[in-house]
Amino acid sequence: MKKEGNILLIGIGNSGRQDDGLGWAFLDSLGPELPSNIDVEYRYQLQIEDAELISHYQKVYFIDAYKKLTPEGFFVTECFPKETHSFSSHALPPETILFLAKNVYNKNPESFILGISGESYQLEIGLTETANSNLNKAVSHFCHDILIM
Amino acid sequence: MSQKLVIDPVTRVEGHGKVTIHLDDNNKVKDAFFHIVEFRGFERFIQGHPYWEAPVMVQRLCGICPVSHHLAAAKAIDQIVGIDPENLSIPAQKIRKLLHFGQVFQSHALHFFYLASPDLLFGWDADPLKRNVVGVAMEYPKLAKKGILMRKFGQEIIKLVAGKRIHGISTTPGGVHKRINVKERNYFLDGKDIPSIDTMILWAKEIIDFIKEYHLKNKSFLDSFASYPSGHLGLVNKENGFLELYDGNLRATDAAGNITLDDVPNNDYNEHFYESVEKWSYLKFPYLKHLGKNKGWNRVGPLARINICEGIETPLAEKERLDFKLASNGKINNMTMHTHWARLIEILYCAEMMKNLLEDDDILSNDLIRKGERRKEGIGIIEAPRGTLIHHYEVDDKDRITRCNLIVSTTHNNEPMNQAVRWVANNVLSGEPEITEGMMNQIEVAIRAYDPCLSCATHALGQMPLEVNLIDNKGVLIDEKRR
């Protein structure tokens, strides 16, 4: 178990559904030589136990594919705890995970969503050219503007 | 005017199903059906693949119980390479069992804490916005924390053996890939990084105490709701008839406890089962040949397993089994809601078994793989969390799979779930002028007791919201509710 003060990157998606694999591809692109204070986790979807996981970190990034195309090809936005309701408890949004971490574990890690634009989500392995291009931009931004900060 | 009520999809189950209830002119129930509307067809598209790919591919049927499919397929493929279950090396057997108990433990914890407990804690008339796992976490944080950590413990066991929590790979034809080392097992024993296996046993006992107390307070409901006589099917230990989840003989009883399938070896299953189809569901209806379609269907899963076994090898779970038997006066238990209770006894059993295996030095051994004489057919049967799971493969001389038959736990429970839906339709909905949210949820409560995995059963992926349609006798939609 990691101590307080570390960063968790959670890649969300499914590499068998084309650009839905962007979250995982982002983690892969960072390579194995990450700073020791950074951990990565791969998820098909967020579940309630992830509230317990993030309660051990100071900062969390949720990295996921974004269905809409953005001018930069990606976006980063701060994420806050929020109670949401859904028919399913198998796929919870980041806001609900943060809400549970805050209320059940009394932890409120600084959190961000990194959304990377994709364009196709069919049953196929491999990102589209657009998604690949957007992935590279997101990785570059993350490594130069966020990690170095 | 006669009407048809449709609940589509059913919520807090794994997969996508719907319910239709046909009403007559007086709002009396004429008939009720639980439909499974997904289709994928794993049995077909695995044909042509090399047999050693089966345990890896078929586990993609499901994100909840992939380990069960991985192990059932592995047992079948063991036979292809000439290794029957008893000829697997002792360390490989124990490592596979550790994986299996971790899977059943986490799956049962998921079901009870995430899916079933909202109904028990808040009641079925509670606001659905509250009646969910987030609501449980907010109002019962201590209980939620335990549920989360119990599920996590099982998932960590899976990760230990199979490399990752979902869709990992542990088995190879005739054995397993890797042994466990001392540092890895101490992670689960010493309680330094995660709550220890002793804590899991303690919490499992606590949650059984909860359901026993709940039963005392809600006896009438738990004993009667959606209850009906049925057959019960599962594996039992080959030597003593005890509860068995990994490898045993097939046993079934009727609703009164008379044996209807007498400790049949796995390889003979095909002589005893037929599967029928209905045009209104993709899910088949298995039954025992000699009893016929109308009398030969059986429940599977925790309630069936506790019913048919003669004992449990771990002391704490055995004590709980004996208490459980008292609730049905020592007879076969046909009370559907007692399935939750039986499931929690199995959680305790799995925890005790994991402790035994983690403390067993055999799991540290490198004696992991056996080889035998190549065969053309392999059958693997295990008790998955939801019940008896059958994988059957045939291969050609070029190692390609030529035939695959999967009978999944939820498939066995198809007719039982339909019976449960009919019970609610007849006892709760029939004659009522309006179908309320609470009534709708009672249908789901009845289905949910079986923890159905509809994705597995039809080998499909889908979503799980709820929709209710009211349709008249001419097929015209006259009302609709969706959430």
Q: Does A125 touch chain B if contact means CB atoms closer than 8 Å?
A: no
Q: Does B461 touch chain A if contact means CB atoms closer than 8 Å?
A: no
- Amino acid present at A143: C
- The answer to whether the CB atoms of A1 and B194 lie below 8 A apart is yes
The highest-confidence range among A41-45, B108-112, B191-195, B357-361, by mean pLDDT, is B357-361
- A92 contacts in chain B (CB < 8 Å): 134
What pLDDT is stored for residue B131 in this prediction? Answer: 81
**Whether B235 contacts B382, CB under 8 Å:** yes
CA dist A121 and A17 (Å) reads 5
- Which range among B66-70, B75-79, B82-86, B262-266 shows the weakest confidence by mean pLDDT? B66-70
Chain pair A-B, CB pairs under 8 angstroms:
57
What pLDDT is stored for residue A31 in this prediction? Answer: 83
What pLDDT is stored for residue A122 in this prediction? Answer: 85
pLDDT of residue B230 exceeding 50, the answer is yes
Task: State whether B130 and B92 are in the same domain.
Answer: yes
Work out the pLDDT band at B483, boundaries 50, 70, 90: very low
- The answer to whether the CB atoms of A49 and B148 lie below 8 A apart is yes
**Whether B305 contacts B252, CB under 8 Å:** no
Tell me the shortest Cα–Cα distance from A14 to chain B, in angstroms: 12
In a domain, B387, yes or no: yes
What pLDDT is stored for residue B216 in this prediction? Answer: 96
Query: Does B237 or B11 have the greater pLDDT score?
Result: B237
Going from the C-alpha of A3 to that of each of A8, A38, A42, the distances in angstroms are: 11, 11, 20
Q: Tokens representing B133?
A: 């796992």
Q: A30-68: per-residue pLDDT in tens? A: 988 888 899 999 988 888 889 999 999 999 999 999 988
Query: Nearest-CA neighbor of A61 among A45, A76, A72, A44?
Result: A76
Mean pLDDT of B202-225: 96
Residue ending a domain, among B412, B428, B447, is: B412
Q: Does B193 touch chain A if contact means CB atoms closer than 8 Å?
A: yes
- Which range among A110-124, B31-45, B263-277 shows the weakest confidence by mean pLDDT? B31-45
CA angle, B186 then B189 then B194, to 5°: 95
Task: State whether B379 and B467 are in the same domain.
Answer: no
Mean pLDDT of B419-437: 84
What pLDDT is stored for residue B91 in this prediction? Answer: 98
Domain ranges for chain A:
7-146
Mean pLDDT of B15-39: 71
Query: Does B164 or A148 have the greater pLDDT score?
Result: B164
Work out the pLDDT band at B457, boundaries 50, 70, 90: very low
Task: State whether B18 and B117 are in the same domain.
Answer: no
Mean pLDDT of B17-21: 73
| A39-60 burial code (b ≥16 CB/10 A, e <16) | bbebbbebbbbbbbbbbbbbbb
Q: Does A87 touch chain B if contact means CB atoms closer than 8 Å?
A: yes
**pTM given for the model:** 0.88
| B352-384 burial code (b ≥16 CB/10 A, e <16) | bbbbbbbebebbebeebbbeeeeeeebbbbbbb
Q: Which of B129, B145, B151 sits opposite A85 (nearest CB)?
A: B129
The hierarchical CATH code for the domain A7-146 is 3.40.50.1450
pLDDT of residue B7 exceeding 70, the answer is no
Work out the pLDDT band at B458, boundaries 50, 70, 90: very low
What pLDDT is stored for residue A14 in this prediction? Answer: 86
**Whether A74 contacts A138, CB under 8 Å:** yes
pLDDT of residue B471 exceeding 60, the answer is no
Task: State whether B396 and B433 are in the same domain.
Answer: no
**What residue in B sits closest to A102 (Cα-Cα)?**
B138
CA angle, B477 then B424 then B34, to 5°: 55
Task: State whether B247 and B274 are in the same domain.
Answer: yes
In a domain, B44, yes or no: no
Q: Does B148 touch chain A if contact means CB atoms closer than 8 Å?
A: yes
pLDDT of residue B479 exceeding 60, the answer is no
What pLDDT is stored for residue A45 in this prediction? Answer: 84
pLDDT of residue B468 exceeding 60, the answer is no
- A48 contacts in chain B (CB < 8 Å): 114, 133-134, 137, 144, 148
Work out the pLDDT band at B208, boundaries 50, 70, 90: very high
Query: Which helix (H) or strand (E) element contains residue A64?
Result: strand A59-66
What pLDDT is stored for residue B164 in this prediction? Answer: 75
What pLDDT is stored for residue B22 in this prediction? Answer: 76
In a domain, B55, yes or no: no
In a domain, B174, yes or no: no
- The answer to whether the CB atoms of A44 and B63 lie below 8 A apart is yes
Query: Nearest-CA neighbor of B235 among B218, B222, B249, B217?
Result: B249
Work out the pLDDT band at B171, boundaries 50, 70, 90: confident
> How many residues are recorded in chain A?
149
Query: Does B63 or B144 have the greater pLDDT score?
Result: B144
What pLDDT is stored for residue B4 in this prediction? Answer: 66
In order along its 149 residues, chain A shows pLDDT tens digits of: 445 569 999 999 988 889 999 999 999 999 888 888 999 999 888 888 899 999 999 999 999 999 888 899 999 999 999 877 654 455 678 999 999 899 889 999 999 999 999 999 887 889 999 999 999 999 999 988 777 65
- The answer to whether the CB atoms of A89 and B137 lie below 8 A apart is no
Q: Tokens representing B363?
A: 């799991």
The highest-confidence range among A9-23, A41-55, B235-249, B276-290, by mean pLDDT, is B235-249
What pLDDT is stored for residue A33 in this prediction? Answer: 81
Give the relative orientation of helices B338-358 and B141-162 as an angle to the nearest 10 degrees: 50
What pLDDT is stored for residue B17 in this prediction? Answer: 65
**What residue in B sits closest to A92 (Cα-Cα)?**
B134
In a domain, B176, yes or no: no
What pLDDT is stored for residue B130 in this prediction? Answer: 80
Residue ending a domain, among B412, B440, B457, is: B412
- The answer to whether the CB atoms of A103 and B138 lie below 8 A apart is yes
Task: State whether B248 and B350 are in the same domain.
Answer: yes
Which residue in A17, A44, A49 has the most chain B C-beta atoms within 10 A of its own C-beta, making it the best mutation to test that interface?
A49
Instruction: Report percent pLDDT > 90 for chain B.
Output: 63
Check: complex ipTM more than 0.85: no
Task: State whether B87 and B234 are in the same domain.
Answer: yes
Going from the C-alpha of B329 to that of each of B224, B324, B334, the distances in angstroms are: 15, 9, 12
Q: Tokens representing B381?
A: 């049967």
Tell me the shortest Cα–Cα distance from A73 to chain B, in angstroms: 29
What pLDDT is stored for residue B465 in this prediction? Answer: 43
Q: What are phi and psi of B182, to 5 degrees?
A: -65, -40
Query: Which helix (H) or strand (E) element contains residue B455?
Result: helix B454-458
Give the relative orientation of helices B66-80 and B90-109 as an angle to the nearest 10 degrees: 160
In a domain, B109, yes or no: yes
CA–centroid distance for B69 within its chain: 12
- The answer to whether the CB atoms of A85 and B132 lie below 8 A apart is yes
- The answer to whether the CB atoms of B138 and A1 lie below 8 A apart is no
The highest-confidence range among A59-73, B238-252, B433-447, by mean pLDDT, is B238-252
- A83 contacts in chain B (CB < 8 Å): 134
Q: Does A90 touch chain B if contact means CB atoms closer than 8 Å?
A: yes
In a domain, B12, yes or no: yes
Task: State whether B159 and B207 are in the same domain.
Answer: yes
Query: Does B278 or B156 have the greater pLDDT score?
Result: B156
* CATH number assigned to the domain comprising residue B375: 1.10.645.10
Q: Does A100 touch chain B if contact means CB atoms closer than 8 Å?
A: yes
Instruction: Report percent pLDDT > 70 for chain B.
Output: 88
What pLDDT is stored for residue B464 in this prediction? Answer: 38
CA dist B399 and B278 (Å) reads 34
Residue ending a domain, among B367, B382, B412, is: B412
- The answer to whether the CB atoms of A87 and B129 lie below 8 A apart is no
Task: State whether B76 and B31 are in the same domain.
Answer: no
Task: State whether B442 and B308 are in the same domain.
Answer: no
- Which range among B20-24, B217-221, B284-288, B293-297 shows the weakest confidence by mean pLDDT? B20-24
What pLDDT is stored for residue B24 in this prediction? Answer: 79
CA dist A123 and B104 (Å) reads 30
Domain holding B448, by residue range, is: 3-38+420-482
What's the structural domain count of chain B?
2
**What residue in B sits closest to A2 (Cα-Cα)?**
B193
- The answer to whether the CB atoms of A87 and B465 lie below 8 A apart is yes
What pLDDT is stored for residue B169 in this prediction? Answer: 82
Say which residues have a Cβ less than 8 Å from residue B63's Cβ, sequence separation at least 6: A44, B166, B167, B455
Q: Does A33 touch chain B if contact means CB atoms closer than 8 Å?
A: no
Q: Which of A52, A89, A92 sits opposite B152 (nearest CB)?
A: A52
Task: State whether B305 and B374 are in the same domain.
Answer: yes
In a domain, B175, yes or no: no
